[in-house]
Structure 1
Amino acid sequence: MASLSQAQGNPKNKPVVYGEQLEGFDYAYPVHIYAFESQAEEMHMAYIDSPPSNASKPNGHTAVLLHGKNFCAGTWETTIKALNDDGYRVIAPDQIGFCKSTKPERYQYSLHQLANNTRALLDSLGIGKSIVVGHSMGGMLAIRYALMYPDAVERLALVDPIGLEDWKAQGVPYSTIDQLYARELKTSADSIKNYQRNTYYADEWKPEFDRWVQMLAGMYRGPGLQAVARNSALTYDMIYTQPVFYEFEQLKMPTALFIGWKDNTAIGKDTAPPEVRARLGNYKELGKAAAARIPHAQLIEFEDLGHAPQIQAPERFNKALLKALDEN
């Protein structure tokens, strides 16, 4: 296994090019492939399966880490290490349509389908019950997974999940898939970095963040641009049209909610009227409101962090995550 310092990336923002399944970019952990058929197409789902470290005693628990919309399994690398060191086995998949997994030409995307794919992967690995940790879009997916398979979820950890509000009900106008696709074709390293700086890292920037910018930008520079953009557009439509907001009360398992107060993520906010835009993505309030509605919820807040605390302040986040998981 490559060490974290040896993991490939491109910290100097050079114009790297990666394949549509992120060929050429290495994660810090070995990547495995789960092959299956879905919607009459052959698929492969890339995933990390990392055992407890040699220095720790296995604790008998498996943590499943679900990445966000603009993230990958590999972006969990410091959290994987922290969990392994605490005795957890970790499974971190790349969802279909993302990163190192298949970008299908035609796919009916739904959170239900992605949850079903994830359940099938875990079944293939003999994993019945697990702790599910979801970040951003992965938080929405974790909620859907927990609602579909409550007996398979030991506990839930939601890290700045999107879906804490229903954007269409708030007044965000609908964008067609064609409109989303046209926008995605224009994606560049600069547009990715500007968005991440303002949303993920609360206007803070560290050189190590550039690696994740290049990971995404490299796919948009590559020969798979159209497939990457098309699948990204389809998953944006999925997120906008399939709220989990109205089902929080149905979550019965212990749930830890990790919220960065400086997060301001809201799907379609840039297309909304100014008066709508001003009230969207207020995570300081959204986190409190969600925690009040989710039974057995614990709220952990980071007053100075944005949308990706596991990357912005990994030591603090990982310490808080392990504490929350070990308390119950």
Structure 2
Amino acid sequence: MRKKLLVLAIICLSGYYPQIQAQTIPAQDIMLTAYKYPYPVHFFKLLIQGEPLLMAFMDVQPAHPNGKTVVLLHGKNFCGAYWDSTAAGLSNNGYRVIIPDQVGFGKSSKPKHLQYSFQLLAQNTKALLDSLQIEKVAVLGHSMGGMLATRFALMYPQVTEKLILENPIGLEDWKVKVPYQSVDQWYKSELVQNYDKIKKYQLDSYYAGQWRPAYDKWASLQASWIHSPDYAQVAWNAALTYDMIFTQPVYYEFENIQAPTLLIIGQRDRTALGKASAPEEVRKTLGNYPELGKNAAKRIPHATLVPVEGVGHLPHIEAYTKFITPLLDFLKS
């Protein structure tokens, strides 16, 4: 009995959870129809490149409005649902919160063919806001959403009152350091994904080897498409958006951002697109968020940097209080 307890303790401390968990993840269809989001989901109709598409979004109305709106833009491996705690915190402080799933993600359409660009996603987001008659917003983007938030702020400075970047990717230009992968190569990689690979990537890249049970629902959600008959189309959209991220840097335009900007940077983060395919000597230099955050703060006018020690790629999940406190202070300033 003592030996069994020792083995169980080692498993828990190592962050490993039994394989059976991966086998019990329910398969989701292409629109995550059966997956319940934290707030009611609405759909905005778009016609893009000749194809009718749906953009899912949540519109969280505060009990005591302060007249301000915050738009939350999700990362590459996530959807709007992971903003649940952030939306609650903002709403409780009087903010209306708009949470879109970008086309290609979450409960939004996954087109068979689409030329993705950050400009297109920014236009879609602006069209959604126009339909809701929202003229001014603070824009918060995490990871890939940080690249999109930056592009939105550059395209619509008159709409963007404040910009918040939470561990954004794109603080360096990978295409000058990392070998290019074609869309077909990205697609092949996506087709062989599984729960264990997804969890290992998140464990290594996001959480520095420190896994908590609370993180599992986001890895499970990403893996829920894999056994669906729709997965090939989901994987194709994932490949197209990887190419968008790799080939469309915002890195060279930071000096043009007009909005007051808050950078919330988890200091343990080492995320970098294509890092695994880079030569070892280059790989060591990629994703150095402590330095990347400092450099971005120097280049972005009116920028404030909040380094979050001991935290990785997802401060709003890994260290909510350390994330929401500076965010609310910035929005109220």
TM band (smaller chain): over 0.9
Deviation at 1:78, TM superposition (A): 0.3
Query: TM-score, normalized by length of structure 2?
Result: 0.92
Distance 2:192 2:158 in 1: 43
Deviation at 1:202, TM superposition (A): 2.4
**Structure 2 residue aligned with 1:230:** 236
Is 14-23 or 106-115 further displaced after alignment? 14-23
**Structure 2 residue aligned with 1:121:** 128
- When the two chains are superposed, the root-mean-square deviation of aligned CA atoms in Å is 1.1
Residue pairs, 1:169-180, within 5 angstroms: 169=176, 171-180=177-186
Deviation at 1:315, TM superposition (A): 2.4
Distance 1:242 1:39 in 2: 19
Residue pairs, 1:315-326, within 5 angstroms: 315-326=321-332
Deviations 1:81-138 (A, max 9, x none): 0000000000000000011100000100000000000000110010111000000000
Question: Which one of 105, 118, 123 corresponds to residue 111 of structure 1?
Answer: 118
**Structure 2 residue aligned with 1:167:** 174
**Structure 1 residue aligned with 2:189:** 183
Letter in 1 for 2:95: Y
Letter in 2 for 1:35: K
Secondary structure of the 2:169 match is: coil
Distance 1:23 1:220 in 2: 15
Secondary structure of the 2:165 match is: strand
Aligned identity (percent) is: 53
Secondary structure of the 1:44 match is: strand
Letter in 2 for 1:174: Y
Distance 1:12 1:311 in 2: 21
Secondary structure of the 1:32 match is: strand
**Structure 2 residue aligned with 1:72:** 79
Secondary structure of the 1:315 match is: helix
Distance 1:219 1:26 in 2: 15
**Structure 2 residue aligned with 1:133:** 140
**Structure 1 residue aligned with 2:271:** 265
Distance 1:226 1:59 in 2: 44
Letter in 1 for 2:187: Y
Letter in 1 for 2:150: I
Q: Is the 8 A contact 2:205 2:269 kept in 1?
A: yes
Is 200-209 or 125-134 further displaced after alignment? 200-209
Structure 2, unpaired ranges of 5+: 1-19
Distance 2:214 2:229 in 1: 26
Query: TM-score, normalized by length of structure 1?
Result: 0.94
Letter in 1 for 2:287: G
Q: Is the 8 A contact 1:261 1:301 kept in 2?
A: yes
Deviation at 1:15, TM superposition (A): 2.6
Deviation at 1:23, TM superposition (A): 2.0
Secondary structure of the 1:163 match is: coil
Letter in 2 for 1:150: P
**Structure 2 residue aligned with 1:47:** 57
Deviation at 1:12, TM superposition (A): 5.0
Distance 1:305 1:224 in 2: 35
Deviations 1:186-231 (A, max 9, x none): 1111111111111222222111111111111001221111011000
Deviation at 1:320, TM superposition (A): 2.1
Question: Which one of 174, 189, 200 corresponds to residue 194 of structure 1?
Answer: 200
Q: Does 1:153 align with 2:163?
A: no
Distance 1:325 1:141 in 2: 19
Q: Is the 8 A contact 1:12 1:210 kept in 2?
A: no
Deviation at 1:316, TM superposition (A): 2.2
Question: Which one of 57, 65, 71 corresponds to residue 58 of structure 1?
Answer: 65
Secondary structure of the 2:226 match is: helix
Secondary structure of the 2:168 match is: coil
Secondary structure of the 2:224 match is: helix
Distance 2:278 2:89 in 1: 39
**Structure 2 residue aligned with 1:302:** 308
Letter in 2 for 1:163: G
Question: Which one of 312, 315, 322 corresponds to residue 318 of structure 2?
Answer: 312
Deviations 1:258-294 (A, max 9, x none): 1011100101001111111110000000000000000
Deviation at 1:159, TM superposition (A): 0.3
Distance 2:288 2:200 in 1: 19
Distance 2:103 2:152 in 1: 15
Q: Does 1:290 align with 2:296?
A: yes
Paired positions, count: 313
